[in-house]
Amino acid sequence: MFNINPFENFTEIEQISYQDELKNLLPEYVSEENQDMGEELVCVICMNIVYDPLSCSKCQTLFCSRCIKEWLSLKNYCPIKCQNVTAQTIHKKIKDLLSKIKIKCPRNTAGCKESPFYENLESHLKNCQILKFKCVYCFFTGSKTECLEHVKTCKLSFANCENCGGEYKKKRKDLHTYEICVEKITLKMVTISQEIVEMKQKNQNLKDILKIYKFPAEIVKEVTIPKKYLL
Ligand SMILES: [Zn+2]
Ligand SMILES: [Zn+2]
Ligand SMILES: [Zn+2]
Ligand SMILES: [Zn+2]
Ligand SMILES: [Zn+2]
């Protein structure tokens, strides 16, 4: 069987990788029972739950390693303002504490009900049965069905042709064929010529009014108006 569906390879949605999910864990994913720990788990640089954490050598605050490394490459104080600090491996006690915290699977919005322990989140995501997708044009995420539904109308998925002004799906510019473009331009030209005809008619009406206004009939009869004044 030949594949004749032109939308078959039309990829407007992408599956989100678990690495991306781990780097973008929203603070609200801390499970209800661990809400009291929530604040300490948030990296104040990226405002997500810390990923691969390191701590400030003075205040022990947790930050994602990539966030604090980038920060300290530019400044010599931590985001909490301790001076001359380094990012260090987290303390064993904090590590133990972290391991007991439950995080809602980031695919909870797509239907996963699991809340694995922080340290098991990565392995859970690798095996999670629910898959999460994202719109390739905007920040929309959800199940495959939700995403496919969303991209049908996603405002950012459309572009306008620079020749005819017509709308087409950015990923499928090939569907905006030469024939379609020419047809749209022709249609536009027809509209424009109709407008020109209307404008000419209006202009004529105006001229007629001006003639009457400037030169009342009896004057016109008596005076020979120089040709250049005639509209
Ligand atoms: Zn961070
Ligand atoms: Zn600090
Ligand atoms: Zn899950
Ligand atoms: Zn979108
Ligand atoms: Zn066009």
82: domain CATH number is: 3.30.40.10
Q: Are strands 87-88 and 62-64 parallel, antiparallel or unpaired?
A: unpaired
Tell whether 204 and 90 lie within a shared domain: no
Nearest ligand for residue 157 CA: 4
17 and 176 Cβ atoms separated by less than 8 Å: no
Low-confidence ranges of the chain (pLDDT < 70): 1-9, 214-231
Tell whether 77 and 121 lie within a shared domain: no
Residue 167 located in a structural domain: no
Q: pLDDT value at position 35?
A: 85
- In whole angstroms, what is the distance from residue 102 CA to residue 117 CA? 4
- Give me the residues near ligand 4 (ion), CB cutoff below 5 Å: 135, 137-138, 140, 154
The domain total for the chain is: 3
Q: pLDDT value at position 222?
A: 57
Tell whether 195 and 138 lie within a shared domain: no
- Cα–ligand 2 centroid distance for 92 (angstroms): 18
Q: pLDDT value at position 120?
A: 95
User: Which among 65, 109, 114 is positioned nearest to 86, based on CA atoms?
Assistant: 65
The whole-model pTM stands at: 0.65
Tell whether 131 and 153 lie within a shared domain: yes
Tell whether 51 and 15 lie within a shared domain: no
Tell whether 75 and 121 lie within a shared domain: no
- Cα–ligand 2 centroid distance for 84 (angstroms): 9
- Cα–ligand 4 centroid distance for 144 (angstroms): 13
Tell whether 64 and 31 lie within a shared domain: yes
- Cα–ligand 3 centroid distance for 113 (angstroms): 7
Q: pLDDT value at position 206?
A: 82
Task: Give the residue numbers spanning the domain of 46.
Answer: 26-102
- Cα–ligand 2 centroid distance for 53 (angstroms): 14
Q: pLDDT value at position 168?
A: 93
Residue 184 located in a structural domain: no
- Cα–ligand 4 centroid distance for 152 (angstroms): 9
- In whole angstroms, what is the distance from residue 37 CA to residue 28 CA? 12
- Cα–ligand 1 centroid distance for 141 (angstroms): 21
- Cα–ligand 3 centroid distance for 121 (angstroms): 9
Tell whether 37 and 86 lie within a shared domain: yes
44 and 79 Cβ atoms separated by less than 8 Å: yes
Tell whether 17 and 120 lie within a shared domain: yes
What digits encode the pLDDT tens for the residues 79-126?
999 999 999 999 898 889 888 899 999 999 888 999 999 999 999 999
Largest CA distance in the chain: 113
Tell whether 121 and 16 lie within a shared domain: yes
Q: φ and ψ at 72, to 5 degrees? A: -70, -15
Q: pLDDT value at position 3?
A: 45
Residue 139 located in a structural domain: yes
- In whole angstroms, what is the distance from residue 149 CA to residue 161 CA? 24
Tell whether 42 and 97 lie within a shared domain: yes
Residue 181 located in a structural domain: no
Residue 174 located in a structural domain: no
Residue 3 located in a structural domain: no
Tell whether 111 and 18 lie within a shared domain: yes
Q: pLDDT value at position 110?
A: 84
- In whole angstroms, what is the distance from residue 60 CA to residue 213 CA? 89
